[in-house]
Chains A and B, each alone.
Chain A
């Protein structure tokens, strides 16, 4: 299968996602410049981490106007699998492809560290190889990952089982200490109602090799390969 990895001018995890897809996973991956207007036949789209346009205003606020985002939206609407990592998650929120918004971390500091998340939903293209409730050790690295949604939105997100990943401690308990940024309900990642668009703050592409401290993130990429190969999630063209 083929991944499209969107490159905004301030993306800085684009090469990491590319490396994970191509070198670790052995799949095809293409970097797509944000001014391009085609995803070049990709089967899955990754919006990588970084600071898309400097993000001095609000993270991801300008990126949604990049030409490629029209194509990403069309791909998502057609059911294609889209993964937003960190800044990519922020861009998906700003673009309205996922509900909610990001605030600055409760500590007001940038925070880079391995954390644990629990996989709560396994019917997305990025988690279908995970047993439900599985713990993943994956790093976070962000200054604005404090997930927020209005009360009624949050209720809907929870009721629709859209919370895919939640911050927990190493024993799997959802505690305040395990929450690195103050996110409501310890939310680390969510999906859309169609379940094909997933965004998360932790960086699975940084946890694909044991040499880097964890290979727990690999399952997200393996899942989407399986989903695409078996035709479970594919954009209707």
Chain B
């Protein structure tokens, strides 16, 4: 078959890239080879636009056992154990087919974790959708949630937390980012490496079909009105098969018969074979005719590019074949020997013994193109950064804002969502979803891990550098509120088309901000994922660099929760409130505006605040802790009461510099950073304030827990006085009503 220009373009390759392929091979590629280069050099697999920037992120630290480059990162959590974790996107498939797209996203990240030799024990997710007024968005969200539930619940890994945001920019391009954490013996982390000439290469798991061919290429292009035609490129998940694979693989790993293992995710058999060979400086030779196939007449091209789910490639030690095969047989799986490790560093693909591809592994992996794409500061910033409150008309009543924000889907209870997830299986979940960071205990130790995924896309849109810093700070602050020391991070960078200089500028600035914040807070990034081309009809999503943070709690009995506990406890606000309404939920919900500059962030002060939280929690001083995020102080205070059955009464100072008439709004709803609402016993307040003073963290005793109302005065003047039950009803039923009303109408 001749390789035409059309064929090259269809494979998403430029003329220059094709020329590089010819040079790497020393000849024209075969069709199978062209397919292999196409997927391996796609943005999704090669990180060609992002890699030069990702290199600037901090990835090392005294606890880091595995940084970027493997299936997942790993950090030391003591007791000879490692926390293995990563976040990954499945945005494009989830738009085209919400249930299966999201389900297979869960399946993929779980495989990344257990291939490291870790037992997965917790899932989180970070989701973004358009406005729920749109029936298509509701359908997408319902499908995504059901897909995550369908997969995670069946396989028996609890979904213990997450976050969901809404903005019109996500209407045609939802974000589905899934985080998984597993526990491994620190000294027994398994690598995705092929080595040892003559060692057998095994294929195990589901049979290969024509599904998902060019999924990686699909994920590296924008959407348009024809996207629905791409549905065959979305795979179908089988959580039961994955459960068998998980158990069987962990059992094989407990023997010493294994050399390396990798799942066949994006780019399927192609990526797993050449990446394992490349990491081991070895060659891999496989015969596709031996690959178990679900359909007849599949070509080598199709077999190599299929993204059928629940498949693994593993290299065993020569002579130990029987041990490996016996374990898979026990789980009714068949490990099929499809090739061997060689010494020549090449990926050689045979079809019934005849060579159909013969490529140096490095040409597909390390030597893939790298671009430093042009950047340009977006013109929109000139207008969006202007915030003129006076132009918005007279300020609304605080009470109306309070109620509207409680009902807004970004803030309202996500119970309708997390009730569909099994969040308790494995009996480790100490803090249930909807209550800040998810917390799971580590059985057999006294420790627990707190997990949080966060990103405020509005902040990043308005100032990518500062906004990405906020994402890191907020995720770390959330685990610190639980009493956990942030020890490792993973990121999922969701942006638009990197070939547009303004998008690329957002990306570069966000990575710079993220790196600065991770260094200041001492949380290395151990891996992650980049998802570009999140655009539909030329319109990009809000830049959304989601950060997942793992925090370590030394004494699981000292976990701090969000809810106020008992009447009479003292409420203390840590941090400073300023008139910072830029990028706020208030502006979005009440005025439909995304404008202004995000709140300032002093990273040194943030670090001091987090240390104070961790130390005070360990000392048993804190009865509750909750950070002020979307909706500001007032929302945070209300959330501390919901589900607790006790109200609260506080007096806060007026904020400086608020525009005329907006002083109360700013005091209640501005989203100033580095603020945490904590409660402690009446006796403990002195201790806590002394600790805060020593740490250099501003702290003020602002009120007491008790009663059945939420009462706020500003400098002694009443501004809000709401029955707790009313507020809680609005907050807890809002999302449910959206979906149930929609169902009733349908």
A positions within 8 Å CB-CB of B = 9-13, 15-16, 19-20, 49-51, 53-56, 109-113, 139, 141, 143, 203, 205-206, 208-209, 211-213
Contact = CB atoms under 8 A, between A and B. Distances in A.
B155 interface: yes
Given A13-B156, A111-B420, A212-B430, A54 B425 contact: no
B90 interface: no
B427 to A, nearest CB: 5
Nearest to A9: B244
B441 A211 contact: yes
Nearest to A109: B420
Interface stretch (B108-116, B161-169, B235-243, B320-328): B235-243
A135 to B, nearest CB: 18
Nearest to B427: A16
Contacts of A10: 154, 240, 243-244
A54 B238 contact: yes
Contact of A211 (B238, B424, B557): B557
A112 B418 CA distance: 8
A203 B425 CA distance: 9
Contacts of A9: 240, 243-244, 247, 331-332
A206 B332 contact: no
Contacts of B441: 211
B27 interface: no
Contacts of B427: 16, 19-20, 205-206, 208-209, 212
B55 interface: no
Contacts of A143: 153
A10 to B, nearest CB: 5
A113 B736 CA distance: 15
B294 interface: no
A113 B156 contact: no
Contacts of B238: 54
A213 B439 CA distance: 13
B719 interface: no
B556 interface: yes
Interface in B432-464: 432, 441, 443
Given A9-B243, A54-B154, A54-B238, A112 B430 contact: no
A205 B146 CA distance: 25
Interface string B663-702: 0000000000000000000000000000000000000000
A24 B192 CA distance: 38
B421 interface: yes
B726 to A, nearest CB: 19
A54 B422 contact: no
B443 A212 contact: no
Contacts of B422: 110, 112, 141
11 contacts: A10-B154, A10-B243, A16-B427, A19-B427, A54-B154, A54-B240, A110-B422, A112-B423, A112-B424, A212-B430, A213-B432
A208 B150 CA distance: 26
Given A9-B243, A10-B240, 17 more contacts: A9-B247, A13-B156, A19-B443, A49-B425, A54-B154, A54-B239, A54-B241, A112-B419, A112-B420, A112-B424, A141-B422, A141-B425, A203-B424, A208-B427, A211-B441, A212-B424, A213-B432
Contacts of B420: 109-112
B429 interface: yes
B149 interface: yes
Contacts of A213: 432
B139 interface: no
B426 interface: yes
Contact of B149 (A13, A54, A110): A110
